[in-house]
Structure formats: C-alpha cells, structure tokens
Chains A and B, each alone.
Chain A
Amino acid sequence: MNQKAATAAGAGAGGSDTAAPPAPDVREAHAHPKDRLLRSDRLPHIWCPTCGIGTCVSSFVEAIEESGIPEERFAVVSGIGCTGRVAGYVNLDSFHTTHGRAIPFATGLHLANPKLKVVVFSGDGDLVAIGGNHLIHAARRNIDITIICVNNFIYGMTGGQLAPTTPHGARTTTSPYGNSEYPFNVPHLVASCGATYVARWTALHVRRMKQAMVAALSHRGFSFIEVIAPCSTLYARKNRLGTGTDLMKFYHDNCEVRHGANTAEIDIGFQEKIVVGKFVDIEKPTFLDRMGANLAQRRGR
C-alpha cells in the first residue's frame, strides 16, 4: 500500500516514513488535563482515527503521574514506525532513534545515568524484527529499563507489510496470500531471555494497561509490556476486520485474563483467543548490581 492509498483511506500515517497530512488546529477545543505531559504544540498527531497507539500513550502519561517518579527523570526512547513517533509527542526528554536501535540507545542512556527512568516505546517490527537481537540481549542482561511494545501485528508506518508478529494466515501487503510464517510469541521470547517483568494487555484494557505500566516503571530490572493494539488503516482493512473499534470489540469478546500463565502457551493465532495478564514479576540483580558486586569483591570491600 502506498502513501496515496493510505491517505485516501483517511490514514494519518501508514504509507511512508514521514506521512503527516494537514489537519485543522484542534488544540483550543480539546485541552486535556494531561497536556502537560504531551507536546500539545505538536498536535495534531500523525496517527489514524481508531488507531490503538494513542490509547497506549494516554495510559502511559497517566502511569507516569501515578508512579510518583519525578517527570524530569524520564527519558523516552523510540525507534522508527507509527509507534516510534511516541517519543515526539511526550513532553519529556525524548529520543527518536534509528529503526530497531532504541534499546541500545536506551541502554547507553541508562548505564551512563542510572538516575534516569528510561522507557523504550516502540512497535513490534521495530523491537522484535530488526531490533530483535537487542531485545533479547537487554532482557538477558536484566538492564533496568522499561519496554512498551505496541503490537499491531503489522508494519504500520511503511504501509502494512508482514511483521514477525503477524499471525499465521493473516494478509499484509507482502503476504497477499496469507502469512506462511510462524509469529513470535513475544512475552515468551523475552521471558525466556530473562526479563523480570512481563505483561500483555490490549488497547481495550486501558486501566489494566496503566496499572501494568505503573508496576513496570516501579520495577527494578528489565520490564516488558506488550500491548496488542488495532492498526485500523492497514491490518484491519487488509484482513477485512472492520475498523479499530471492531477490533476493540474483538478484544472484548476474545481476551482471557490469565495472570501467571505459562508464556509458552500464549501464542496468538489469527482472530483467535488472546491471553492477557501479568506473566512474570520476579526480582533479580540487574546488570549494574552485578557489575558493582563484581568490582566490590575484586577490591576486597
């Protein structure tokens, strides 16, 4: 799908790395109590109507307030994609890096100043395909950062191509006859690599998602939240699933909350049941804890 088609379909993004159609100035009319945490001077945002990313951002800014962590300590790092644009809309120190490389950048920020609360906010393609190697290694090291992965089962920004999370059989612009690949079960992937907090929610579960974000922000160690979210313009349309609202209804009818579920059993099939909940929440020394301990031991302290 090209940019023109996406725009014709009323899409804000989807179709190019930079799509940003002109839109009326709605700032005055829609002043929001969370504006302080958003760059309202950058609105309107690029996301399409009924896209799930905005919901995740709302929950995120609420979680920031509720966490009690001073706002100045936050640094939000994104890769490239529709979700990758989140860094540009939060009124916090924010970094929009290269495709797939948000986690290494975030690792550098965090290790160089552990007082920062470093959050990576990015898409499934960014974090799990091109950035997959960084994801598993950051989890393995138990780097003390929080990852919020918006999984819309597709590459939104580039116009709806196959992602490593696209369910088997689903159609995308590069799997026109249906996806022949097995998708990643992302919570299972990060949990088996050593992530110490792992949860999955959907864009429908705004309150639970926010609570999970508060928990992840307060967690010491590598915390990971997968948020299943509608890509209305591309994933929904390509697969004739209706609008983003229809997908939200689907989540409502087909999600099963199962805290502590065995992550090996929570694969997502095409339009099949989605298991959500908190799957992992353990304590383990972080990379910096272990580094400090090794040095102290060698110095005989």
Chain B
Amino acid sequence: MSEPRGAVLTGEHFMNGDVAAAEGALAVGCTFFAGYPITPATEVAERMSERMPDVEGIFIQMEDEIASMGAILGASWAGRKSMTSTSGPGFSLMMENLGLGVMTETPCVLVNVQRGGPSTGLPTLVGQQDMMQARWGSHGDYEIIALCPNSPQECFDLTIDAFNLSETYRLPVLVMSDEVVGHMTEKVVIPPEDQIARIERRITDAAPADYLPYQPEENLVPLMVAAGQGYRIHVTGLTHDERGYPEVVAPVQQRMVPRLIEKIRKNAEQIIRYESDGIAEAEVVVVCYGITSRVAQLAVEMARQQGRRVGLLRLIVAWPFPERVIRELATRIKGFVVPEINLGQMVYEVERCAAGRARTIHVPHAGGAVHDPETILARIEEASS
C-alpha cells in the first residue's frame, strides 16, 4: 500500500459506476462505510475497503444488511458522513432501519444497485424494480429522496448530491443505480477538490440547556448535534416531541409525522431535478430514468427521423416525483411513453399526474436486459397516432 491518496482523485479516469459512486462519497467527505457483499453492488464496498484508510475513515463489513444500515445510522450520530450499498435482497433487509433513519432524521446515503427480482431473482442482471420499494418500502408514512444515475459519471456526481441532500434535509437519501450503470466502465472526470460542492451538517450553536433537538428551523429541518458534545440528547424511533422524548399520543404524532413529510414536500422544487430534450414542441414525451434513459434517447431520435415531435424527460430525482412538470405537459401533449425495466412502477406516478388528460403508455420489461429501442419506438408511434 502506498501513501494515502486523499479524498478527491482529481483527473480523468475509466471506472465503473459502482467505483464511481464510492469515489463520489469519498469526495464529498464520507468517512464511514458499513456494508455486506451482494452482486451487483459489491464493488462499492470493495472500493470503500481499499480507500477508507486514505481518508482516516472506517470500513466495516457487517454480518448482514440490517446491521449495515444500523451501523451507518450510529456513525452518523457520531458526526460522520456515512454510507452503505446493496442490491434487492439487501435493500429489503434495510427497510426497518431506513425507517428509523427517517424518524430520527439521520443523514446518510444508501446506494442500491438494482438487479432483477423478486427474491434472489437475477443477481447479475439488470432491473429497475425497487423504485416503489424505495418510496414505500418501510412501514408508516414518510417521504424520501431518490436519485437515478444513468452513467458512471453520474454515479460520482449524484452520490455527492445525495450526501448534500441528506445533510440539508436530514434523512437517508437513496441512490437508485442499476446493474448496467453499476458495471459499465466509462470516462469519469473528477474535478479539483475546491470545485466539489460539499454541504456540511448544520449543527446548533445553542447551549445544551437551550437546545431542543427536534425543534425545526424555518425550512422544517432541525439543527443537529453529535453524541459526545455534552448535549445529552435522546433519539428514538418512537413518536417524539421537540425534546426528542417519546410521546406516544395522537397530537404529537399529528405534529411530527406531517413535518417529516412537509420538509420534503415544501422543499420539493429545490430537490427535484430532471433533464429534458425537446419537450416544448413535443406531442409525445418519453419519461425515463437510469439506464433505460439511454435506450430511450435512441428511440426518440429514431422517431424524430420519422418526423414525429417527441420529447424526452429524464428523471434525475425520481422521489420526490416531478408532479408539476408532468401535470403541465399532460394539458398539451397527446401522450406519455414510460419505458422501465419492471412491470409497472414509475408509470403509475405519470398516470396519476396525467390524470386522464394525456394517454400514458407503459413499456414494460421483466428484467435481465435493457429494452430494444424498437420496442420503445413502437409505443411512441402508438402514442402519436
């Protein structure tokens, strides 16, 4: 092992999406990783195990994904930026502690490199079948933030964004990658350290006696402290008041849970990101995300060569869902085409927002491969006819 390399490997690299996600995390200041091996996410953990010593960080391979998720929550409360990575089966195991992270407002990042399911499914092959689990997988009401990279470069960039969002809004943020993006090797440009946007945790400067750990600021997010700073905080997954004390009664629930949801909904316009191409003059818009967006782009170009007016809307942030843009498009286009490597998930959101004002045509795929562009093209033709 040579001398420590530092957090930011500025320069041009060829790396796969998993490695790029690990590098993004390191670049934004992640110094704690706990995980459990699973294809196709293992390379994230392997990279972290190799690189953590470079940043005086901690890598630990836990006994399972439940423990991995628990450990990153603990590490976050010790003041570190922390991350885990997994795929379908492990994602299922993480759900209960993901909910604890939401309830206790614990910043951390979870990278899910999606493979085909259900169950053990297709360990080595692609799927986009955890999108609804990302939104609803843990019990109870909550909002979540989920980002969908479509290239190794975006695995790097969006993992940085995921940390920044998790620190800003104090919740676990999901990077919903997929097997193809995770395993494809492409050029990744890592900028100089001073060009990496790093949002640090907002810590209170109140004296311990004056500090209420769950009293929100104006943006509905409370200021945080870490264990060991003398604040004697109590953090619980039970419904709690502003002191953090359990108050298992309806009025506190009715104040607390809506705030957890509102802190995302009220700030949704700041969080939502998408990329659009030609939607202003389109009569059909293809809504897509992750690896499928790259195939959809081909289909859109083929349709345009046929003289059709087709736009592309790529979700970079899948959750919260960009309701406003879909609603607005629905009033003036003929239809949406939604290809995804599942048998119907994000399409329901498009359909809900279109509310019958435009047709919504799903292009399903059961998993194991990406779509043929021709399949998507056929549905574009159908939508524009």
Contact = CB atoms under 8 A, between A and B. Distances in A.
A108 B100 contact: no
Interface string A1-21: 000000000000000001010
B74 A94 contact: no
Nearest to B4: A299
B64 A133 contact: yes
A20 B248 contact: yes
Nearest to A92: B232
Contacts of B77: 95, 108-109
B34 A116 contact: no
A18 B250 CA distance: 13
B71 interface: yes
Nearest to B228: A116
A137 B66 contact: no
A109 B75 contact: yes
A174 B354 CA distance: 51
Contacts of B234: 39, 87-88, 94-96
A240 interface: no
B248 A104 contact: no
B326 interface: no
Contacts of B366: none
A93 B228 contact: yes
A75 B226 CA distance: 10
Contact of A101 (B31, B34, B70, B228): B70
Given A96-B237, A298-B1, A104 B228 contact: no
Query: Which among B72, B232, B248 has the highest number of chain A CB atoms within 10 Å?
Result: B232
A282 B110 CA distance: 38
A116 B78 contact: yes
B100 A88 contact: no
A73 B1 CA distance: 34
Interface stretch (B55-63, B115-123, B129-137): B55-63
Interface in B291-337: none
B236 A108 contact: no
B97 interface: yes
Contacts of B97: 97-98, 101
Query: Which among A107, A116, A133 has the highest number of chain B CB atoms within 10 Å?
Result: A107
Nearest to B96: A98
B229 A104 contact: no
Nearest to B68: A104
Given A97-B70, A299-B1, A108 B235 contact: no
B53 A295 contact: yes
Contact of B236 (A96, A106, A116): A96
A108 B34 contact: yes
Contact of A105 (B32, B73, B231, B238): B73
Given A93-B233, A105-B70, A111 B75 contact: yes
B369 interface: no
A30 interface: no
B246 interface: yes
Given A104-B67, A137-B63, A112 B75 contact: yes
A122 interface: no
A281 to B, nearest CB: 26
A60 to B, nearest CB: 15
A108 B32 contact: yes
A235 B23 CA distance: 53
B64 to A, nearest CB: 7
A231 to B, nearest CB: 21
Interface residues of B, number: 46
Given A98-B70, A105-B71, A299-B1, A112 B233 contact: no
B75 A95 contact: no
A103 B60 CA distance: 14
B112 interface: no
A92 B96 CA distance: 25
Contacts of A133: 63-64, 67
Contacts of A103: 67, 70
Given A97-B100, A101-B97, A112-B75, A42 B70 contact: no
Contacts of B96: 98, 101
Contacts of B66: 101, 104
Interface in A121-153: 133-134, 137
Interface in A1-57: 18, 20, 39, 42
Contacts of B68: 104
Contacts of A73: 228
A113 B79 contact: yes
Contacts of A112: 31-32, 58, 74-76, 78-80, 82
Contact of B233 (A18, A94, A111): A94
B245 interface: yes
A105 B106 CA distance: 12
Nearest to B230: A72
A106 B228 contact: no
A199 interface: no
Contacts of A111: 32, 58, 60, 71, 75
Query: Which among B67, B68, B69, B74 has the highest number of chain A CB atoms within 10 Å?
Result: B74
Query: Which among A87, A95, A107, A112 has the highest number of chain B CB atoms within 10 Å?
Result: A112
Interface in B93-110: 96-97, 100
A149 B232 CA distance: 22
A91 interface: yes
Contacts of B1: 295, 298-299
A42 B244 CA distance: 11
Nearest to A85: B246
B75 A97 contact: no
A213 interface: no
Query: Which among B64, B82, B236 has the highest number of chain A CB atoms within 10 Å?
Result: B236
Interface in B205-256: 226-238, 245-246, 248
Nearest to B3: A299
13 contacts: A18-B246, A93-B227, A95-B236, A96-B235, A98-B96, A98-B97, A98-B100, A104-B74, A105-B73, A110-B78, A113-B79, A115-B228, A133-B64
Given A95-B234, A111-B58, A116-B228, 14 more contacts: A18-B248, A93-B233, A96-B236, A96-B246, A97-B237, A98-B100, A98-B237, A101-B70, A103-B70, A105-B70, A107-B34, A108-B34, A108-B76, A113-B228
